[in-house]
Amino acid sequence: MKEIILPDMGEEVKEATISFWHHEEGDKVTKGEDLVEITTEKASFQVETPVSGILSKISAGEGEVVKSGQVLGIIEE
């Protein structure tokens, strides 16, 4: 099991909004591919898949505001 964590985006950016997920729960994902797009006040970013496996849980849905270090979902390896 691998948690998908919202990375630290710098000292001035403490939270972001989930724009959309590129996959749904139960989908196979590959390490390095775009997994979820997040938007801050200044820009949009892609969070890459940290490991290959199955996206077993999405913890933060589209439109939700998340903080740096928060768990966005879980991948079962």
Check residue 12 and give its pLDDT.
76
Check residue 41 and give its pLDDT.
86
Which CATH number do you get for residue 29? 2.40.50.100
CA distance 55 to 9: 23
Range(s) of the domain holding residue 21 = 2-76
Alpha helices in 1-77 (DSSP H): none
Pairing mode of beta strands 71-76, 44-48: unpaired
Q: In what order do the strands lie in the sheet with 2-5?
A: 2-5, 71-76, 53-58, 28-29
CA distance 59 to 41: 22
pLDDT per residue as tens, the chain (77 positions): 999 999 887 777 788 999 999 999 999 999 999 999 999 988 899 999 999 999 999 999 999 999 989 999 999 98
Number of domains in the chain: 1
CA distance 73 to 54: 11
